[in-house]
Amino acid sequence: MKTILKNAFVVNVFTEEIEKQDVLIENGIILGVGDYSDVTADSTADLTGKYICPGFIDGHIHIESTMLIPYEFAKACAPHGTTAVIADPHEIANVCGKDGIRYMLQASEGLPLTVYIMLPSCVPSTSFDESGASLTAEDLEEFYSHPRVLGLAEVMDYPGVISENEGLIKKINSAKAHGAVINGHAPLLTGHSLDKYISAGIYDDHECSSVEEACERIRKGQFIMIRQGTAAKNLVDLLPLFKKPWSDRCMLVSDDKHPADLIERGHIDDAVRIAVKRGASPLAAIKMASFNAAQHFGLKNVGAIAPGYAADLIVLNSLEAVEICDVYKNGKKVSSNGSVVPFEKPVVDNALESRVHRTFSLDMMKGSDFIINCGEKRKCNIIRAFRRQIITEKETAVIDFSVNNGIDIENDLLKIAVIERHKHTGHMGVAFIRGIGLKCGAIASSVAHDSHNLIVVGTNEADMAFAANTVIEAGGGLAAVNNGAVVSKMALPVAGIMSEEDARVCAEQNAEIKNAALLLGCPERSEPFMRMSFISLPVIPHIKLTTFGLFDGDSFSLMPLFAD
C-alpha cells in the first residue's frame, strides 16, 4: 500500500534544511522524498503549510519510573511524537531479576513505539545496596540474542570500572563481544579517572549538569545525553550544546519522568519545545531528538526522512511551537490531534505476571522503629537535598535528640529512613535530611532507586510508621499522611513500582499525591516524591542513605550518623 504525504515542509536532519516536498511511503518504508505528483497512491494527505520531521527517540529512559506499564506508557507517549525509546529496565530488574527483564520485553511487544532494551549492568547498583536480585554477566547473556536488545545499560558503578572489578568488567567485555553499545553514568568524573572509565568502552553519559563537564566528555569521544526529566532537569544549563560542533554529539533523553509530567508537559517534544523557546535552532533540536540517538545506538535506517528509512514521522502544525498534529509509526498513523489510534495490549505470560506482582515482604512498622537512641546533643552528618537536582550535599548539624528525637521542623530538619523490603533482613537506615520541606505528616514510597526498598520522610515517627504501613498494605506505592490519616495514596502493585491503571488515571493519581505533599508543606514544583526516590541511590554524589545507613558517594563507603 502506497501513501503520499504531499506538499509538506520536510525537515532534513542530514543538512539541517527544510524543503517543500512529497514523502512517498510503502509497507512502512519511505520510498522517496521529492516531487511525486505524477505517482498514483492508495492514499494521499495534503499537508500544505505543515511540517514533517522524524519521530522522536528517547535515548535513555526507565519506563518503570513513569509508573506505567509499557502499554499505558505507549498510549501516553504516542501523541507526543515518540516513535522509539531506549529503555533500561534496571528498576524492575533490581526487584525481580531476570523475570523483570522478561516482563518488560513481553509487555513492550508490538506497541506503536519501539521499545529497545539495554541490559541492566548494575543489579544491585553497588555492594552497599540490598536489592531483590543480583545479575551476573552469565545471567545477561541469554538476552543479547533478542532483536530489541541493543547493549549494556548505564554502568553506574564507576569506581568498579576504575578499580577493574572482575564481575563488572566481565559484563562490559561480554557486551563488547556482542558488538553492543555500553551506556555510561559517571557524574562529576573528570581527568584521568574519566579517561580510564571511557577507555573501558563506555561512550555516552546522561549525568552531565554543566557545559564544562559535557564538553570534556565530548572531546574525549563520548555522546552526551541531555536530560530533561521530572527530577533532573539539565537542559537549560546545557543549552550551549545545541550549537555546533557540540550538537552533533548530543541527544535528548528523559531518564525518569512521572506520569502527570508526561501527560501534562509531554515527553521528548517537551525538551525540544523548551530548547527552541530558549533560542536553540529547531532543526538542531529535532536532529538531537531523533537522528543522533539512532546513529549512536546503531539503528540503521531510523531517525531521518530519506529513501529506505522507516516511516516513523511526526506531522507538525508549527515548527517553532513543536505543535504535533499526526504521528506515524512504520507508515501507519498511530496518533492524530492528541488521540491515540487503538492498539492491542501485549500478552504477558501468566506465571511471569504473577511473579512480578508478589514482590513485597515486610512487617508492619511502629513509630518506635524510627527512634535513634541518643538523649543528648550530637553533631551529625545530614543529607541536603535540592530542587530540580538528584545530587545531594553533605552537611553537619548539632542535633538535640532530647527534643522530638532530633526532628526540627522549623529548621527543615526531618527524619528519613530506608527499609529493606525484599528479603526480610530487617535492615533499616535512619538519618536526617534538609530540603524536602514537609511541615507536618510524612510521605513514603516503594519507588526508591535503584533497589526500591521502602523510603519514608517525616516530621514525626508515628506518621512515618503510618505512611510506611500504608505502602506495605497496598503491596507497594506512594503515600502521604498526616496525624494518622491518609491524605493521598497511589498503589503500584507491579513490582511495587508500576501501576496497572490507565495512563490518565495514573497521571491524575500522581498529580493528587503531589498536591497532597504540597498540603503537608513541600514547596510547589519541588517534586518531593521523585527527589526522595533518589536519596537511596548511592551512585549519585554526594551523600545518600541505604538500608545499611548513610553512604559517602565521594569515598564510596558507609559513613556514620554521628560526626563528632
pLDDT in tens, 377-386: 999 999 999 8
pLDDT at 361: 85
Confidence band for 260, pLDDT divided at 50, 70 and 90: confident
Confidence band for 136, pLDDT divided at 50, 70 and 90: very high
For the chain, the average pLDDT equals 96
Confidence band for 129, pLDDT divided at 50, 70 and 90: confident
Say if 23 falls within a structural domain. Answer: no
Which of 301, 336, 354 is at the close of a domain? 301
Is residue 282 within 8 A of residue 316, CB to CB? The reply is no
pLDDT at 284 > cutoff 90: yes
Say if 274 falls within a structural domain. Answer: yes
Which of 301, 316, 344 is at the close of a domain? 301
Say yes or no: 371 and 295 in one domain: no
Owning domain of residue 263 = 55-301
Say if 75 falls within a structural domain. Answer: yes
Phi, psi of 216 (to 5 degrees): -60, -40
Say if 310 falls within a structural domain. Answer: no
What is the average pLDDT across 542-564?
Answer: 94
Find the CATH number of the domain harbouring 227. 3.20.20.140
Cis bond before residue 502 (omega within 30° of 0): no
Say yes or no: 386 and 491 in one domain: yes
Structure-block grid coordinates of residue 412? 527543615
Dump pLDDT digits (tens) for 213-252.
999 999 999 999 999 998 789 999 999 999 999 999 999 9
Say if 326 falls within a structural domain. Answer: no
Ranking 304-308, 444-448, 554-558 by mean pLDDT, the lowest is 554-558
pLDDT at 388 > cutoff 80: no
Say yes or no: 441 and 554 in one domain: yes
Rounded percentage of the chain residues whose pLDDT exceeds 70: 100
Q: Is 483 exposed, middle or buried (0-12, 13-18, 19+ CB in 10 A)?
A: exposed
Phi, psi of 287 (to 5 degrees): -60, -40
Centroid of chain to Cα 10 = 31
CA distance 418 to 536: 7
**pTM of the predicted model, to two decimals?**
0.93
Say yes or no: 400 and 540 in one domain: yes
Measured CA distances, 8 to 11, 175, 290, 380 (Å) = 9, 42, 19, 63
Say yes or no: 130 and 277 in one domain: yes
Which of 301, 318, 347 is at the close of a domain? 301
Say yes or no: 551 and 477 in one domain: yes
Confidence band for 372, pLDDT divided at 50, 70 and 90: very high
CA distance 92 to 454: 14
Place of cell 512504520: 330
Nearest to 237 by CA among 378, 114, 388: 388
Nearest to 153 by CA among 59, 81, 251, 242: 59
Nearest to 446 by CA among 489, 476, 485: 476
Say if 564 falls within a structural domain. Answer: no
Place of cell 510524612: 442
Dump pLDDT digits (tens) for 87-113.
999 999 999 999 999 999 999 999 999
CA distance 425 to 275: 47
Say yes or no: 179 and 264 in one domain: yes
CA distance 281 to 295: 20
Length reported for the chain? 564
Say if 179 falls within a structural domain. Answer: yes
Q: Is 216 exposed, middle or buried (0-12, 13-18, 19+ CB in 10 A)?
A: middle
pLDDT at 557 > cutoff 80: yes
Amino acid at 379: K
Place of cell 500500500: 1
CA distance 185 to 207: 6
Say yes or no: 72 and 191 in one domain: yes
Rounded percentage of the chain residues whose pLDDT exceeds 90: 91
Rounded to the nearest 10 degrees, what angle do helices 503-519 and 70-77 cross at?
Answer: 90
Question: Total domain count for the chain?
Answer: 2
Say yes or no: 287 and 374 in one domain: no
Dump pLDDT digits (tens) for 499-543.
999 999 999 999 999 999 999 999 988 889 988 999 999 988 999
CA distance 346 to 162: 41
3-class SS at 397? strand
Query: Do strands 223-227 and 250-253 pair parallel, antiparallel, or not at all (unpaired)?
Result: parallel
Say if 256 falls within a structural domain. Answer: yes
pLDDT at 84 > cutoff 80: yes
Say yes or no: 281 and 385 in one domain: no
Say yes or no: 485 and 407 in one domain: yes
